[in-house]
Chain A
Amino acid sequence: MVAKPTPSVQDKLAVHQLNVYYGTKHVIKNVDFSIPEHQVVAFIGPSGCGKSTILRMFNRMNDYIEGFRHHGQVCLNGQDIYQKSVRVEMLRRKVGMVFQKPNPFPKSIFENVAFGLRIQGVRSPRLLREIVERALRQAALWDEVKDDLDTNALALSGGQQQRLCIARALAVKPEVILMDEPASALDPISTAKIEKLILSLKNELTVVIVTHNMQQAARVSDRTAFFFLGELVEYGPTADIFTHPQEKLTEDYISGRFG
């Protein structure tokens, strides 16, 4: 029971008949779905099911993988982002990403957040300071680091580093943030902070989050997509997926019978 919506502009992200190959391996098979604006959408499924691959299609991070090919469409605001005319750097300003392992740059906290602006040519120190502060506040990190903006980001704890990476992504004002298991390397308290943060971001942008943790998907997301072996098995409102899954496979996965 896979819903097949027609492309429409109010969908922030949409995927049509997407197939992805790494060399001869067919990793994504005929996937169709769309993500409305201002929603948190969770991708769940066992390891190797293709959820991270799909996530990385939205900001074209797979372009760097050797042997990567795809056909079908991946759209942002109704426009295919794999068209030749699309400049991938421009796309990534609109579609930010937070990785599984916090990956701050080995520079100061300030420079980490300012980097996205600097490469866009923002020079004004006042403007930079303003935006850095706003991004750090938005990522709920400002109070902890406001006196240490010049310290090296690698000195922060893992949870702080991950919120710094979120602040870094927010600083360039993206329309979408992709999160690839953002809390899997963190302790429960840091995880709770990140989850609260995700909920607060929904008003301003669209969030797509890959997670191994089904309770996390249930807590933060409006919609959930369940992938298995490269196929989209089921996609719908999170409450429905977790209480009345339509597919036997989904039910088996969320009830912990495999995975």
Chain B
Amino acid sequence: MAFISDRFKETLFRIYGMFTTWIGIIVLVVFLVDIFLKGVRRLNLDFLTGFPSRFPEKAGIFPAEVGTLWIFILTAAFTIPLGVAAAVLLEEFMKKGRFASIVEVNIASLSGVPSVIYGILGLEVFGRWLGWGNTLMAGAATLALLIFPVVVLATREALRSVPRAVREGAYALGATRWQAVWHQVLPASLAGILTGIILALSRAVGETAPLIIIGALTFVSFVPDSPWSEFTVLPIQIFNWTSRPQPAFWITAAAAIVILLAMTLMLNGIAVYLRYRWKKRLKW
């Protein structure tokens, strides 16, 4: 009797497991298909290269695309040197001890802070104190702070995956700690670090709240031409259109969502590819 009921439990659990696995996938697919079907008729070259308009059929996303691209590049420029350097310091140079664990706990909890809070921080520090206002620089710096903990954690993970034996091999040849890190550990973990950075950046590209707080525009009739330019990004443009009363704008928003999703999925695809290549090349 007990035997049968255990088997029955197992079957029940399998069905439940299937259900939970598929539910996420199905919801996502339904959403994607729905968005795509709604937005597809607005997807054309005019939409990609046009400017916003108060007529939904004429509205384009060119300024938002360029803004998102700027934000991507500037955020990367801020966050890569900071995040990688912090991770290398924590992982390779700092003595494990009380101070190190305090820093570690703080970085881990930073990654749990809601993005709106980063927006307020960015508004005060970059927008007001540094006087950067609501420019691309202020937005990118804010997003760089937001994803900084993620980049640090991912980089440390990648550094940790380089076997101790590689470091010992370098030390045994007379390498200093810096030489071992720079010439052996960093190159060996580069793909892992890049994967983490790309995933973090793809999150930054999708952020809306912090940029709204620092005052990114919602209607932009020009293309940002320098880091000190005002700007908008795709998520804000989408948010703006979905909050309009006319249903025709919702269709336009759906088309913009398709573009934004395509961009982030492409970034994630690159990350997956890098990780795959890396695993294939290194088998220790």
Verify B188–A105 contact, CB threshold 8 A: yes
Taking CB atoms, residues of chain A closer than 8 Å to B170 are 105, 115
Closest to A118 in B: B183
Taking CB atoms, residues of chain B closer than 8 Å to A254 are none
Cα distance A97–B165 in the bound complex, in angstroms: 12
Q: Does B131 contact A (CB under 8 A)?
A: no
Stretch at the interface among B110-118, B173-181, B261-269: B173-181
Within 8 A of A (CB), among B92-144: 96
A interface size (C-beta, 8 A): 29
Q: Does A116 contact B (CB under 8 A)?
A: yes
Verify B169–A89 contact, CB threshold 8 A: no
Q: Does B283 contact A (CB under 8 A)?
A: yes
Verify B174–A116 contact, CB threshold 8 A: yes
Q: Does B228 contact A (CB under 8 A)?
A: no
Cα distance A184–B245 in the bound complex, in angstroms: 75
| Minimum Cβ distance to chain A for residue B40 (Å) | 46
Given contacts A106-B282, A118-B183, contact A101 B165 (CB under 8 A): yes
Cα distance A156–B163 in the bound complex, in angstroms: 18
Cα distance A165–B168 in the bound complex, in angstroms: 12
Within 8 A of B (CB), among A131-180: 152, 154, 165, 168-169, 172
Q: Does A17 contact B (CB under 8 A)?
A: no
Which of B165, B168, B171, B173 sits near A169, CB closer than 8 Å?
B173
Taking CB atoms, residues of chain B closer than 8 Å to A96 are 172-173
Q: Does B248 contact A (CB under 8 A)?
A: no
Cα distance A50–B104 in the bound complex, in angstroms: 35
Q: Does A12 contact B (CB under 8 A)?
A: no
Verify B174–A61 contact, CB threshold 8 A: no
Taking CB atoms, residues of chain A closer than 8 Å to B171 are 61, 64, 92
Cα distance A239–B171 in the bound complex, in angstroms: 35
Per-residue CB contact flags for chain B residues 24-35 toward chain A (1 = under 8 Å, else 0) read: 000000000000
Per-residue CB contact flags for chain A residues 64-98 toward chain B (1 = under 8 Å, else 0) read: 10100000000000000000000001111100110
Cα distance A251–B170 in the bound complex, in angstroms: 39
Given contacts A152-B281, A154-B283, contact A105 B166 (CB under 8 A): yes
Cα distance A107–B175 in the bound complex, in angstroms: 16
Verify A92–B284 contact, CB threshold 8 A: no
Taking CB atoms, residues of chain A closer than 8 Å to B174 are 89-93, 116, 119-120, 172
Interface majority SS (helix, strand, loop, mixed), chain B: helix
Verify A103–B282 contact, CB threshold 8 A: no
Given contacts A96-B173, A105-B188, A168-B173, contact A119 B183 (CB under 8 A): yes
Given contacts A119-B183, A154-B282, A154-B283, contact A105 B169 (CB under 8 A): yes
Cα distance A103–B185 in the bound complex, in angstroms: 13
Verify A116–B283 contact, CB threshold 8 A: no
Cα distance A61–B187 in the bound complex, in angstroms: 23
Cα distance A172–B163 in the bound complex, in angstroms: 23
Given contacts A61-B171, A106-B188, contact A119 B179 (CB under 8 A): yes
Closest to A178 in B: B172
Verify A154–B284 contact, CB threshold 8 A: yes
Taking CB atoms, residues of chain B closer than 8 Å to A119 are 173-176, 179, 183
Verify B172–A61 contact, CB threshold 8 A: yes
Given contacts A152-B281, A154-B284, contact A105 B184 (CB under 8 A): yes
Q: Report B's interface with A, CB cutoff 8 A.
A: 96, 163, 165-166, 168-176, 179, 183-184, 187-188, 281-284
- Name 16 interchain pairs, CB-CB below 8 A, sorted by A: A61-B168, A96-B172, A99-B169, A99-B172, A103-B166, A103-B168, A103-B169, A104-B169, A105-B188, A119-B173, A119-B174, A119-B175, A119-B179, A120-B174, A169-B172, A172-B174
Given contacts A89-B175, A106-B188, 18 further A-B contacts (CB under 8 A): A89-B176, A92-B173, A93-B173, A96-B173, A99-B165, A99-B168, A99-B169, A101-B165, A103-B163, A103-B166, A103-B169, A104-B169, A105-B188, A107-B184, A154-B281, A154-B282, A169-B172, A172-B174
